[in-house]
Amino acid sequence: MSNPYEARRPYYRAELAKGVERFLEPRRDTCPWCGSSELSIRLQTTDLIQRKPGRFTLEQCGVCQHIFQNPRLTPAGLDFYYRDFYEGLGQNLVEQAFDASDRAYQGRVDMVKRFTTPSAWLDVGTGYGHFCRFARRAWPGARFDGLDLGFSVEEAQRRGWIDRSYRGEFVTFTDELANRYDVVSMHHYLEHTREPFDELDAAAKILPSGGHLLIELPDPQSLFGHLFGRWWLPWFQPQHLHMIPIGNLTQALTDRGFSTVAIERGAAHQGAELFFALALALIAIAPNPQLPWLTDPPTRVKQLRRTLVWAAGRPLLAIAYLLDTLLSHIVRRTHGGNTYRLLACKNG
Ligand SMILES: [Zn+2]
């Protein structure tokens, strides 16, 4: 069997030889949310997860507090940095994360249950359909369809976790999908999109009056974002292009004919701040030397170093996980969590 790292090396070598600066658009000097030019740098960082080359900046608007990647990745840049994350080399790892998300899935189900009984649900940004597989148990008679950009959505249909897959950009499906769903969900989706307003417009367009829109996002106002700085996982550079304060989102929904009917902040907290910060640090100290986008060749010394660093780090990760669990019990009683969840109803 061919080595998956070696098989990918020529592609990455060729791309990197052309430089990564071309993956960034020119920097914009106004806030994409409100248009203000009162911008300041919130965070400068690198790709701490995959360790692909490049530098990324998040700027914050002084008027509406929106945080956004500036300069933003081009479509070619998005293609380069998403490659081998949700598919290929990264697929097993992200599926493990999705498999371990039952608590969040249950929270979403419980929130919707209080307001409606869905008959047809569209999950935008569904990935491999893990959430839909979970939610079906609550509403076995409902139809669950999924939409995503990658092959994962077709895989979700093949596995039977969704009924039907739509592969492509949500905004291009609005005519086809109009009035076919009574619930649309976007879980950790909007922050990845280039134009979140267009995505909300599309949701408003396809939902009928009385239809519900469920949104879950990392909370940029979380205290943890300040405490952990660039080691806070939800900054998730370079994938997160927009970090949206909850007040901005509810206003954008009101502008589009929605009423927000439920909000959860602390209760939606996903925990594991310490665990992930430590994991990112271990990756920084000793990344997998085989990764095909690393410019230095893999050596035995680097492999040994990785083995030793992770052997030493594993017990620390276990301790961090325990501390996170304790911390989460407290945080879930506050508004300071790392995630918020919101349900909105389309007005008549
Ligand atoms: Zn703004």
Nearest by Cα to 82 from 127, 28, 45: 127
Q: How far apart are CA 218 and CA 175, in angstroms?
A: 29
**What per-residue confidence (pLDDT) applies to 335?**
84
- Does residue 289 have a cis bond before it (omega within 30 degrees)? no
Q: How many Å lie between the centroid of ligand 1 and the Cα of residue 195?
A: 14
CA angle 160, 161, 166 (to 5 degrees): 90
Q: How many Å lie between the centroid of ligand 1 and the Cα of residue 173?
A: 29
Q: How far apart are CA 76 and CA 43, in angstroms?
A: 23
Bridge partners (DSSP) of residue 57 are: 44
Q: How many Å lie between the centroid of ligand 1 and the Cα of residue 39?
A: 8
- Within 10 Å of residue 268's Cβ, how many Cβ atoms? 22
Q: How many Å lie between the centroid of ligand 1 and the Cα of residue 65?
A: 6
What is the Cβ-side half-sphere exposure of residue 103, based on CA atoms within 13 angstroms? Answer: 12
Q: Are residues 96 and 183 in the same domain?
A: yes
Q: How far apart are CA 236 and CA 277, in angstroms?
A: 11
Q: Are residues 288 and 141 in the same domain?
A: no
Q: Is residue 334 part of a domain?
A: no
Helices (H), 83-218: 91-99, 102-113, 130-135, 152-159, 174-177, 196-206
Q: Are residues 263 and 279 in the same domain?
A: no
Q: How many Å lie between the centroid of ligand 1 and the Cα of residue 191?
A: 15
Q: How far apart are CA 50 and CA 292, in angstroms?
A: 10
- For residue 192, the enclosing domain spans 1-270+339-348
Q: How many Å lie between the centroid of ligand 1 and the Cα of residue 147?
A: 29
Predicted structure pTM score = 0.96
Q: What is the DSSP letter of 73?
A: B
Q: Are residues 40 and 156 in the same domain?
A: yes
pLDDT in tens, the chain (348 residues): 579 999 999 999 999 999 999 999 999 999 999 999 999 999 999 999 999 999 999 999 999 999 999 999 999 999 999 999 999 999 999 999 999 899 999 999 999 999 999 999 999 999 999 999 999 999 999 999 999 999 999 999 999 999 999 999 999 999 999 999 999 999 999 999 999 999 999 999 999 999 999 999 999 999 999 999 999 999 999 999 999 999 999 999 999 999 999 999 999 999 899 999 999 999 999 999 999 999 888 899 999 999 999 999 999 999 999 999 999 999 999 888 999 999 999 998
Q: Are residues 325 and 249 in the same domain?
A: no
Q: Are residues 13 and 45 in the same domain?
A: yes
φ, ψ at 247 (rounded to 5°): -65, -40
Q: Are residues 156 and 305 in the same domain?
A: no
Q: How many Å lie between the centroid of ligand 1 and the Cα of residue 211?
A: 29
Q: Is residue 180 part of a domain?
A: yes
Q: Are residues 303 and 181 in the same domain?
A: no
Residue 231 · residue 274 · CB < 8 Å: no
Q: How many Å lie between the centroid of ligand 1 and the Cα of residue 80?
A: 28
Sorted by sequence, the CB contacts under 8 Å of residue 301 that are 6+ apart come out as: none
Q: Are residues 288 and 314 in the same domain?
A: yes
What total number of domains does the chain contain? 2
Q: How many Å lie between the centroid of ligand 1 and the Cα of residue 340?
A: 20
Q: How many Å lie between the centroid of ligand 1 and the Cα of residue 30?
A: 8
**What per-residue confidence (pLDDT) applies to 1?**
54
